[in-house]
Amino acid sequence: VTAAVPLFERLAIIGLGLIGGSIALAARARGLAAEIVACDPQVGSLAEAIASGIIEQGYSSAATAVRGADGVLLAAPVRTNLRLLREIAPALRDGAFVMDLGSTKREMVAAMAELPPHARAVGGHPMAGKEVSGLSAAEPGLFNGATFALCRTGRTGDNAAALAEALATGVGARPLWLDATAHDDLVARVSHLPYIMAAALAHAAAPEGAARALAASGYRDTSRLAYSDPDMMLDILLTNAPSIRAALASATAALAALDELLEATDEHALRAWMEEARRRR
């Protein structure tokens, strides 16, 4: 399906990894932008993307990439996006629409409020990912049916909000407006905590030797996220520490409660603990 009128004349995607690459592929497939350019530190990714017709131009400088662009997407890890936002701010075309695609929103939304008043900016977070990263893992259907969280900033007028929704819908996702703090609290529980539990499981149970033969699909699925990209996860942990620590405290309390019940051989309460977990899932 190609959009009748592209949302952007020139869309600049800063960071051409799994998310940026998938957005580029989806935008190209659906005709969301007349021209797509990208910036990435990996020159090979840019060359590959140009060769396969995903983007028209590649740049090593973000400020150069955004010049003349009416749409700018920040698709690097969160702290890199924060640095890039400061870097591109003076180079933004008048009225440019800027959206980040990072996994935490509080710091970014605060930073976007400091953009030049002419800029339009929305915080975005498509809830899709894989435990593998990089342009080679990108796919145009990555966001199909996924929730696309959107957060208003000090630079979000009605027009920018409508454009953000059109972009989210355009790549196949379902837009969901959330306050940045509510977003960060929620994803701490349903996204960052699952990573942490998977990683703690990997710390406690490396499948080596006989353990490898005994590890079945249960171990595999529960520990899958332990393989997440450390660069991406580090930025998430560092920009959402308070919410993540609160979620972690809930999980640790549940584990401590279970351990006490095991020590006491409290059959009735053990069953209740398990039934409650099952009910909540």
Cβ-contact 88, 14 below 8 angstroms: yes
Please tell me whether residue 9 binds a copy of itself under the rule CB under 8 A. Answer: no
Q: Cα separation of 152 and 182, whole Å?
A: 12
Residue among 226, 26, 204 nearest 126 (CA): 26
Please tell me whether residue 132 binds a copy of itself under the rule CB under 8 A. Answer: no
Please tell me whether residue 137 binds a copy of itself under the rule CB under 8 A. Answer: no
Q: Cα separation of 25 and 31, whole Å?
A: 10
Chain length of the chain: 281
In one-letter notation, the amino acid at residue 126 is P
**91 or 215: whose CB is closer to a copy of itself?**
215
Q: Cα separation of 109 and 124, whole Å?
A: 9
By DSSP bridging, strand 8-14 and strand 57-59 are unpaired
With a CB cutoff of 8 Å and minimum separation 6, the contacts of 261 are: 269, 270, 273
Cβ-contact 89, 63 below 8 angstroms: no
Residues 33-72 close enough to bind a copy of itself by CB under 8 A: none
Residues 77-116 close enough to bind a copy of itself by CB under 8 A: none
Please tell me whether residue 76 binds a copy of itself under the rule CB under 8 A. Answer: no
Site stretch for a copy of itself (CB under 8 A), options 3-11, 17-25, 162-170, 213-221: 213-221
Residues 167-186 close enough to bind a copy of itself by CB under 8 A: 174, 176, 178, 182-183, 186
Please tell me whether residue 223 binds a copy of itself under the rule CB under 8 A. Answer: yes
Beta-carbon count within 10 A of 102 CB: 26
Please tell me whether residue 262 binds a copy of itself under the rule CB under 8 A. Answer: yes
Please tell me whether residue 248 binds a copy of itself under the rule CB under 8 A. Answer: yes
Q: How far is the CB of 141 from a copy of itself (least distance, A)?
A: 14
**94 or 263: whose CB is closer to a copy of itself?**
263
Site stretch for a copy of itself (CB under 8 A), options 2-10, 38-46, 82-90, 238-246: 238-246
Please tell me whether residue 226 binds a copy of itself under the rule CB under 8 A. Answer: yes
